[in-house]
Amino acid sequence: MRVLIALLLLLSGNAFSQAIKIGELNSYKVFPAFLEPYKKGWELALEEINRAGGVNGRPRLKRLVAYFPGHQQPVQLRFRQASSRDDLAVCTIGTTEVPDTVPVLPLDQHSDTVTIGKEVAMMGYPNGPDRLIAMVDDVEAQNINARYGSSLETLINYLAESKRIQPMTTRGYITALDARRIAHSAQTAEGGSGAPLFGQSGRVVGVNFAVFTENTASNFAIPVRYAVTLLESLGWKAPVAPDAGKSDTGNSNQANPRTAMTGLKE
């Protein structure tokens, strides 16, 4: 099982499920005459759609791909399971699809670095492609949006081909702790969910899942041990290094992270 940093692209569609009736919230007690066609158009559309049973609008996952820094081609991810309680999910990836140059991130389930006041770092892709495009000058950004901005997939493919996909790194401190939450001040934004939170051990101690917009010192991560529990529920077993007894207690079973490829089958 690999733990990697990537920019993810989720392509969704509509799945047939319970129908959703639609309507309009507006007031037509007093309105200009030119709005009469607008009103009749809405009434006609609502009548036809709802007569046909409503809108089957439940989204479904069609494709999930990952883009890695320095690599031009996306990699297909396969969804396995989502946590029923935490904002976590497990996906698998073909062992031959990711180049060996993509680093594996060691996990730290039992570390004394996860205490209030300890320093942490986060790497991720908050704001998605918008932040990546903001890194170039205005004229180039306008040209990129004009040529590739009509499709999110096309835009990200261009960013990958031009090797502009790079994670943002921020630093902060653990500001509060709960059994299932790590509050920290490493800055992030919308789109930063799933980013790994590193402790002073240099290993992943949490998975970022929320940002508190009114207080930048209160961004939230889920302790990585809950991600490991989800992995183990799928049959994954952490490999034990031969010198596990001599390694530090933070993550002795990942002395050779590449061996963590085994244990979770697709």
pLDDT at position 111 is: 72
pLDDT digits (tens, 9 = 90+) for 119-133: 999 998 888 888 889
Give me the residues of the chain with pLDDT under 50, please: 1, 12-17, 244-266
Residue percentage of the chain with pLDDT more than 90:
26
User: Nearest Cα to 156, choosing from 2, 3, 9?
Assistant: 9
Q: Are strands 219-223 and 204-210 parallel, antiparallel or unpaired?
A: antiparallel
Tokens for 84? Answer: 């029923």
pLDDT at position 32 is: 59
pLDDT at position 24 is: 58
pLDDT at position 210 is: 87
- Domain-wise residue ranges, the chain: 19-51, 64-233
DSSP secondary structure letter of residue 105 = P
pLDDT at position 144 is: 92
pLDDT at position 14 is: 44
pLDDT at position 223 is: 94
pLDDT at position 237 is: 78
Residues 6+ apart with CB under 8 A from 120: 171, 172, 173, 174, 182, 184, 186, 197, 198, 199, 200, 205, 206
User: What CATH code is assigned to 64-233?
Assistant: 2.40.10.120
pLDDT at position 254 is: 47
Q: Report CA dihedral (102, 96, 88, 117) to the nearest 10 degrees.
A: -20
Give the whole-angstrom CA distance, residue 192 versus residue 194.
6
Tokens for 114? Answer: 């996860």
pLDDT at position 177 is: 92
